[in-house]
Amino acid sequence: MELEELRDALKIASDREYALVEELLVSVEKKKSAPADPADGEA
């Protein structure tokens, strides 16, 4: 039973991490497609 609980917990964590990584990639793509703004303060 403990093994199944651990597997489920890891699956939940990996699903959450996948969603976070996907969100990060979308954010990066938006930055790439956005026009460069020197006043933005980010290099």
| H helix intervals, 1-43 | 2-33
Give 34's DSSP letter.
Answer: S
pLDDT at 19: 94
Q: Is residue 9 part of a domain?
A: yes
SS3 37: coil
pLDDT at 39: 64
pLDDT at 5: 93
Q: What is the pLDDT of residues 1-43, one digit of tens each?
A: 699 999 999 998 999 999 999 999 999 998 888 876 666 665 5
Answer positive or negative: Cα dihedral of 26, 32, 35, 39.
positive
Question: What is the Cα–Cα distance from 1 to 8, expressed in whole angstroms?
Answer: 11
Q: Is residue 41 part of a domain?
A: no
pLDDT at 27: 93
pTM of the full predicted structure?
A: 0.55
What total of structural domains would you count in the chain? 1
* Centroid of chain to Cα 28: 10
The domain containing residue 21 runs over which residues? 3-32
